Amino acid sequence: MEFMFGIPSFVQFGCGVAKQTGEVAKQLGAKKVFFVYDKGVKAAGLTDVVLSSLKEAGLEVMEYDEVLPNPPDTIVEEAAQKAKAFQADVMVALGGGSSIDCAKAINILQTNPSPINQYDGLNLVKNPTKPLIAIPTTSGTASEVTAFSIVTDTTKKKKMVIGGQFVGATMALADPEMTMGMPPAITASTGMDALTHAIEAYVSKGAMVPTDLFALKAIELIYKNLEKATKTGQDLEARTNMLLGSMLAGYAFNSAVLGLVHSIAHPLSVHCGLPHGVANAIGLPFVMEFNGVAVPEKTKDIALAMGLDVADKSAEEAVTVAVEAVKSLSKKLEIPKLHDLDVPKDLFDRLAEDALKEISTMFNPRDVTKEDVLQILEKAY
């Protein structure tokens, strides 16, 4: 047996840990903190907890609130200049994947030359980065614990996957209270993203014993709590389980990588502006169905982790049950279809071509042709 497994970030998990941001930053040697978030997080009133903690610790803070969804490289370059001029020594990121990924990319450019586009790939970031504290406000991307930053290359119109040992956050402050205010639609789509991470990591060609353990526990936690967290946002236990589940899914896919659902989701976001979680949720059941032929036993494990009644069923039957359960969950969560989102069918060809070029396609358990992707898109329409 041979494998390479890693988790880049230390994690402090629990209600109220976001209030310790200032202390943690100080321990990491901070005097000047560059604080990255988006306007939605500010509107939800989440920045105050972090800001007052940083101020109480006597730190000088520069705020950057221009983060956009599917963060474009142009924003990263602009923010990196500001952080450099400010001479920031620690980064703090508060938000969903976009804010944390953006902060990771800004942080890379503090100690590595611009432009960010030259680091698209694995281990291309050569110089160690400064400390970064990530505080998630969604239970989806798990960017707080992964060694990847996903930034949009606006020239090539593709999502870059920047990965490596210097990319991840130094410390994740995973505070379920910071996810309580998430609106139902965001809870649903980001949660489906997390479920996709766990499922894709489990069936990935890059899966290994440690990632399997994290993936199965993540599937259980997410499948059993996502509907509750979406419909009863104030349920702290469901919120806590979702944050934990998404984090464990992050541990899994950080080393096992992902698969075809993400390969299709990335071009959908780039060309049609679909939020990452929505794009994944739409494709998940159809890719599971497609992959089921190649990994029936593993799909049965997934069904068992979800708590479905498949113990006495054949692996092939369990695939059908698992796929139907994911479809029905999507329905309950009101996940739209591609036609609801006005994705034009004449774009399918380009989407399929781009999906084949994504790194995650190499890790998909079943070999994929353009025709296969077109069929999946057709079903998801």
Reply yes or no: is the peptide bond before residue 69 cis, omega within 30 of 0. no
Judged by beta carbon, residue 164 or residue 275, the one nearer Zn ion is 275
Three-class SS of 25-58: HHHCCCCEEEEECCHHHHHCCCHHHHHHHHHHCC
CB of 275 to Zn ion, least distance (A): 11
Q: Would you say 90 or 282 has its CB closer to Zn ion?
A: 282
Give the nearer residue to Zn ion in terms of CB position, either 193 or 301: 193
Shortest Cβ 70–Zn ion spacing (Å): 11
Q: How far is the CB of 141 from Zn ion (least distance, A)?
A: 6
CB of residue 276 vs Zn ion: minimum separation in angstroms? 6
Q: Which is nearer to Zn ion, 175 or 193 (CB)?
A: 193
Structure token pair of residue 30: 């901070």
User: Minimum CB separation from Zn ion for residue 209, in Å?
Assistant: 23
**How far apart, in whole angstroms, are the C-alpha atoms of residue 298 and residue 139?**
24
- Both tokens of 186, joined, read 């965001």
289 is an interface residue for Zn ion by CB under 5 A? no
Minimum CB separation of residue 309 from Zn ion in Å reads: 29
Distance in Å, CB of 87 to Zn ion, minimum: 33
Q: What angle do CA 27, 32, 33 make, to 5 degrees?
A: 80
Closer residue to Zn ion (CB): 131 or 168: 168
- 129 bridge partner residues: none
By rule CB under 5 A, what count of residues binds Zn ion? Answer: 1
> Which residues are bridge partners to 12 per DSSP?
173
Q: How far apart are CA 8 and CA 53, in angstroms?
A: 24
| Residue numbers 181-200 binding Zn ion by CB under 5 A | 193
Our CB check for Zn ion shows the closer of 112 and 254 to be 254
Nearer to Zn ion, 241 or 280 (CB): 280
Beta bridge partners of 171: 10, 133
Nearer to Zn ion among residue 240 and residue 269 (C-beta)? 269
Site track for Zn ion across 52-81, x = CB under 5 A: ------------------------------
Q: Taking a C-beta distance cutoff of 8 angstroms, is the pair 300, 308 a contact? A: no
Residue nearest to Zn ion (CB): 193
Q: Which of residues 189-248 bind Zn ion (CB under 5 A)?
A: 193
Sequential DSSP letters for 100-130: HHHHHHHHHHHHSPSPGGGG-EES---SPPP
Q: SS3 of 272, please?
A: helix
Are 114 and 5 in contact by the 8 Å Cβ rule? The answer is no
Residue 265's nearest CA partner among 255, 254, 278 is 278
Angle (nearest 5°) at CA 119 between 115 and 120: 115
Interface contacts to Zn ion, rule CB under 5 A = 193
